[in-house]
Amino acid sequence: MKSVVKQEVLALNGDEAVAYAVKQSDVDVVAAYPITPQTIIVEKFSEYVANGEVETEFVCTESEHSALTACLAASATGARAFTASASAGLALMHEMLFVTSGCRAPVVMAIANRALSAPLNIHGDHSDTMAQRDSGWIQMYVENAQEAYDSIIQAFRIAENLHVLLPVIVGLDGFTLSHTLENVQTLSDEAVKKFVGTRQFPKVMSHEGKTVPFRLDPENPMSMGPIALPNYYFEFKRQQEEAMRNALSVIQHVNEEFGKISGRSYGDGLLDPYMLDDAEIAVVCLGSTAGTVKAVVNELRADGVKAGVLRMRTFRPLPVDGIVDALRKVKAVAVMDRSMSFGGSGGPVFHEVRHALYDLPAHPYIVNYIYGLGGRDTSPTQIRQIFEDLRGIVQTKRVESSVKYVGLRE
Amino acid sequence: MFSEWKFTAKDIAEKPDLFLSGHRACAGCGPATVLRLIMKAVRGPTIVTNATGCMEVVASIYPYTSWATPWLHTAFETAAANAAGIETALKIMKKKSKIKQEQIDVIALAGDGGTYDIGIQALSGAVERGHDFLFVLYDNEAYMNTGIQRSGGTPLGASTTTSPAGTAIPGKLEHKKPIADIMVAHGMPYVATASPYYWRDLLVKVRRGIEVNGPAFLHVFAPCPRGWRSDPAKSIELSRLAVETCIFPLWEAVNSEYQLSAPSKVMALSPQKKKLVKEYLQVQGRFRHLFTPKYEKMLGDIQRITDERWQRLLKKCGITQPAKTA
Amino acid sequence: MTAQEKSWKEIAPAGVCWKPSTKFLTGDWKTYTPLRDLEKCTRCLLCVLFCPDGAIRWNAQKGDIEFDLNFCKGCGICANECPTKAIEMKLE
């Protein structure tokens, strides 16, 4: 794809790329609390504010709980709001994640993915966001700093779409992406501002019997966040599910639109397949790991092995149809999970992918690899072994163990 | 510093309610009267945000609302963080011409649970950051929404369902946290206490809290007949007795300078008018056990502690004359 | 669930309330009803200010107060606070 607007290449790490995208997205309120490895986002943004480079109110709250709450309340008032966190910070927000999605506040949040205590660990894995799987937030995972920048800009468009109106998490791997410098192509301020546009509001009926924009406005009073008894609560949850379904096509559309101005798109926005068309064996993974897996696939392909990768860019809503289409012809699939679901049969991504394939009349063998917890490195050699295992499964038609641990001392 | 606001009872009665009839608070609910009165003191367009609690629940049972002004509830501990978010949004949206109104005030409402206990972190943070909002604590001295559990605002000796008066323990053993003093210690521009019987004093303080630039904190006494085991007809009378016994003195602290308010000044200048705490305690079922021989010592303790706190307050207000207990 | 309750497709998102509570009458909660002695009443309006339910209103045109028994829960605060004892609570 060819870019239609002029772009500037900046050397940015993932966190800085996020801060830069937020700076350009006409955000009204940023409320945040620093936590490793997200801290650079908050620091960088504070600098923009201190230097008068951005027309945004920055609120440095006393906790992540209040950071998200302030964003939610700002969003209810009509503002565009952003926050960022990681690990324990996201866990502290847990309660408010549900309230934010339930209040249909299109807040965007970057998460520099990090392990959860205990023991305390500041390094990368996906335990933090996976623990928020059912909180009603759209979840996207990026592969590099460039995609972090691009996805934050896209996230505002997705969240604020009137058929969606849901908060979005953009996850970038702690340290691997958050702290690693890359060349990032950046759009002009005007191009980004035009792309994100101004926030629109759906029309709702208030208690005064008037149809008015959905926000806190003294001219058109409305009550938000009431108590709903068993006669209505369920209906609101069904609405959220519908919004998630709507998000599937909106994410695809926004990815495409963004491609038109930047020359960059990520698969169909939901799934980013690599060498999958004729693949016999494939790895499914999230985030930066996809880069390593792709490199290994290139080597395997050179050796004549039909290997491929399916990177799941969007985890919520789960692109079930896309997963089925992408993997239906593959003979054996390895799903990589960078978090655990203790007592479950494998990690959360494994659960989802295996579940998605269940309705196929003949589905591939599917195995799970738990890897990289607490920032443990996963080498190309280990990835190669995973593909090697898949070839063995295809040859022997046997799965010895459906869940394995990568790089763990037994 | 504050604008002159003169009004009669008729002026207030004629103002339309912003907290509407048809809410489902219990008969004789003190906090309901408090909210009705508070909302009569707003100066213009106002957004209200509410912590989870009795007043949130009784006034927003979907699809009904008792709020004629924009209103937001998010969670129990979040009233101040909500207010911070709303106030910040209004500030920047005004700057960017995304809203028309010149001035929109923000009021956060919370009960004692949402203020003394679970909400104090967000409150302290929002006040430290200097957001321009009025935080109103309606204090009914326990978690009434969930059925009368003790809070940091429950007074010494009160029987609640989590500090019940038993054969070994005479109700709550801990003191009421001096929340308004804690707020003064933040160095915030305006802190006051109020009680609905003294409605005029209450309304003036609400208006001042709104007018002041930066955060304001108003601690309002709000009797709960259900939780206090008192006669629903006596809710307003109790709010008078609490002041007359100096259990709940009325004062304001403008820029940390304490000043006794008129209703409490009466007791300071004429100590014989100060009533015994017994008069206030004996009409409430939550203190019933204190009127038995086994626990009557605690009555003396409550009187002594009330007197000590009163004396300390007089000192802070620069009133040197020692007020003798009647 | 009643026929009046709407489906998820018909209601606004996020629980935006669409009825004022003034459509929800609480008057049938009461066991005592306030009765006012017009002679004793000085129209000081304290009852209007203290009523938790906004069930006593000042009618400026008539120059008098009015009880709205649709909302009165019968708590008796008005009777208790009346300086001239003009209100009596009567068992319904």
Indicate the length of chain B as a whole number.
326
User: Does A104 contact C13 at a Cβ distance shorter than 8 Å?
Assistant: yes
User: Does A69 contact B82 at a Cβ distance shorter than 8 Å?
Assistant: yes
CATH number at residue A40: 3.40.50.970
User: Does B63 contact C17 at a Cβ distance shorter than 8 Å?
Assistant: yes
Residue A99 scores a pLDDT above 50 = yes
User: Does C24 contact B235 at a Cβ distance shorter than 8 Å?
Assistant: no
CA distance B16 to chain A (A): 15
Q: Chains with ≥3 Cβ pairs under 8 A against B? A: A, C
B167-213, pLDDT tens digit by residue? 999 999 999 999 999 999 999 999 999 999 999 999 999 999 999 99
B301-314, pLDDT tens digit by residue? 999 999 999 999 99
User: Does A31 contact B85 at a Cβ distance shorter than 8 Å?
Assistant: yes
- Which residues 6+ apart lie within 8 Å of A306 measured at CB? A278, A279, A280, A281
Residue A1 scores a pLDDT above 70 = no
Q: What is the CA angle B123-B129-B135, rounded to 5?
A: 35
Contacts of A238 in chain C (CB under 8 A): 8
CA distance B69 to chain A (A): 5
Q: Is C15 on the interface with A (CB under 8 A)?
A: yes
Residues A193 and A61 in one domain: yes
Rounded Cα gap, residues C18 and B211, in angstroms? 32
Q: Is residue A254 part of a domain?
A: yes
**CA distances in angstroms from A252 to A183, A255, C91, listed in the order given:** 25, 5, 67
Rounded Cα gap, residues A199 and B144, in angstroms? 40
Question: What pLDDT is stored for residue C2 in this prediction?
Answer: 56
CB-CB: which of A205, A206, A224 is closest to C14? Answer: A224
Q: What's the token pair of residue B103?
A: 């001035």
Helix ranges (DSSP H) in A273-379: 289-302, 320-327, 348-357
A293-316, pLDDT tens digit by residue? 999 999 999 999 999 999 999 999
Rounded Cα gap, residues C16 and A206, in angstroms? 7
Rounded Cα gap, residues B265 and B263, in angstroms? 6
**CA distances in angstroms from A260 to A128, A254, A311, A335, listed in the order given:** 33, 10, 22, 32
Nearest CA in chain B to C12: B63
Q: Both ends of chain B: CA-CA distance in Å? A: 37
**What percent of chain A is predicted at pLDDT more than 70?**
99
Contacts of B104 in chain A (CB under 8 A): 218
Q: Is A247 on the interface with B (CB under 8 A)?
A: no
Pick among B10, B21, B50, B61 to test the C interface (most C CBs inside 10 A): B21
Question: What pLDDT is stored for residue C92 in this prediction?
Answer: 82
Q: DSSP secondary structure string, A5-62?
A: S--EEEEE-HHHHHHHHHHHTT-SEEEE---TTTHHHHHHHHHHHHTT----EEEE-S
Mean pLDDT over B129-133 rounds to 98
Residue A282 scores a pLDDT above 70 = yes
- Which residues 6+ apart lie within 8 Å of A160 measured at CB? A80, A106, A199, A200
- Residues 16 to 35 of C: which have CB under 8 A from any A CB? 16-20
CA distance C10 to chain A (A): 10
Residues A175 and A104 in one domain: yes
User: Does C68 contact B21 at a Cβ distance shorter than 8 Å?
Assistant: yes
Q: Is residue A219 part of a domain?
A: no
Mean pLDDT over C11-25 rounds to 96
User: Does A69 contact B124 at a Cβ distance shorter than 8 Å?
Assistant: no
Rounded Cα gap, residues A262 and A151, in angstroms? 12
Residues A325 and A344 in one domain: yes
Rounded Cα gap, residues A23 and A59, in angstroms? 15
HSE, side-chain direction, 13 A CA sphere, residue B79:
33
Helix ranges (DSSP H) in A51-196: 64-77, 87-102, 127-130, 145-160, 189-196
Residues A246 and A312 in one domain: no
B68-121, pLDDT tens digit by residue? 999 999 999 999 999 999 999 999 999 999 999 999 999 999 999 999 999 999
Q: Is A232 on the interface with B (CB under 8 A)?
A: yes
Helices and strands (H and E) in chain B: how many:
12, 9
Residues A197 and A290 in one domain: no
Mean pLDDT over B141-170 rounds to 97
B237-281, pLDDT tens digit by residue? 999 999 999 999 999 999 999 999 999 999 999 999 999 999 999
Residues A386 and A283 in one domain: yes
Q: Is residue A302 part of a domain?
A: yes
Question: What pLDDT is stored for residue B326 in this prediction?
Answer: 45
User: Does B10 contact C58 at a Cβ distance shorter than 8 Å?
Assistant: yes
Q: Is residue A188 part of a domain?
A: yes
Residues A255 and A296 in one domain: no
Q: Is residue A18 part of a domain?
A: yes
CA distance B145 to chain A (A): 13
SS3 A92: helix
CA distance A77 to chain C (A): 14
Could you tell me how many CB contacts below 8 A there are between chain A and chain B?
A: 166
DSSP class of A275:
S
Residues A151 and A287 in one domain: no
Q: Is B311 on the interface with A (CB under 8 A)?
A: no
Domain total of chain A: 2
SS3 B147: coil
DSSP class of B149:
B
User: Does C8 contact A239 at a Cβ distance shorter than 8 Å?
Assistant: yes
CB-CB: which of C7, C17, C19 is closest to A235? Answer: C7
Question: What pLDDT is stored for residue A6 in this prediction?
Answer: 86
Contacts of B20 in chain C (CB under 8 A): 20-22, 54
Q: Is residue A224 part of a domain?
A: no
Q: Is residue A235 part of a domain?
A: no
Residues A192 and A129 in one domain: yes
CA distance B272 to chain A (A): 47
- The domains found in chain C, sorted by start residue, are 40-92 (3.30.70.20)
Q: What's the token pair of residue A293?
A: 């897996």
User: Does A104 contact C18 at a Cβ distance shorter than 8 Å?
Assistant: no
Nearest CA in chain A to B74: A225
Residue B322 scores a pLDDT above 80 = no
- The domains found in chain B, sorted by start residue, are 9-316 (3.40.50.970)
Q: Chains with ≥3 Cβ pairs under 8 A against A? A: B, C
User: Does B13 contact C73 at a Cβ distance shorter than 8 Å?
Assistant: no
Q: Is A218 on the interface with B (CB under 8 A)?
A: yes
Question: What pLDDT is stored for residue B323 in this prediction?
Answer: 47
Nearest CA in chain B to C63: B10
Helix (H) or strand (E) holding A248, with range, is helix A233-262
Residue C1 scores a pLDDT above 90 = no
Could you tell me how many CB contacts below 8 A there are between chain B and chain C?
A: 118
Q: Is residue A217 part of a domain?
A: no
Question: What pLDDT is stored for residue B1 in this prediction?
Answer: 81
Place of tokens 């912590």: B51
| Long-range contact pairs involving C1-6 (C-beta distance under 8 Å, separation at least 24) | C1/A231, C5/A231, C5/A232, C6/A235
User: Does C54 contact B36 at a Cβ distance shorter than 8 Å?
Assistant: yes
Residues A87 and A186 in one domain: yes
Question: What pLDDT is stored for residue A3 in this prediction?
Answer: 58
CA distance C34 to chain B (A): 12
Residue B123 scores a pLDDT above 90 = yes
Cα–Cα nearest to A312, from A331, A330, A296, A289: A289
**CA distances in angstroms from A159 to A101, A140, A266, A407, B96, listed in the order given:** 10, 12, 18, 38, 21
**CA distances in angstroms from A384 to A117, A189, A276, A335, A403, listed in the order given:** 30, 42, 17, 14, 17
Residue A280 scores a pLDDT above 70 = yes
Q: What share of chain C is helix, strand, coil (3-state, %, to 5)?
A: 20, 20, 60
B22-54, pLDDT tens digit by residue? 999 999 999 999 999 999 999 999 999 999 999
SS3 A405: strand
User: Does A228 contact C15 at a Cβ distance shorter than 8 Å?
Assistant: yes
* Alpha carbon B101 to chain centroid, angstroms: 30
Residues A308 and A379 in one domain: yes
User: Does A73 contact B74 at a Cβ distance shorter than 8 Å?
Assistant: yes
Q: Is A94 on the interface with B (CB under 8 A)?
A: no
Q: Which residues of C touch B (CB under 8 A)?
A: 11, 15, 17-26, 29-30, 44-46, 48-55, 57-58, 60, 68, 70-71, 73-77, 79-81, 89
Residues A285 and A253 in one domain: no
CATH number at residue A387: 3.40.50.920
Question: What pLDDT is stored for residue B320 in this prediction?
Answer: 77
Q: What is the CA angle B152-B155-B159, rounded to 5?
A: 100
A175-201, pLDDT tens digit by residue? 999 999 999 999 999 999 999 999 999
Q: Is A197 on the interface with B (CB under 8 A)?
A: no
Residue A375's domain spans which residues? Answer: 271-405
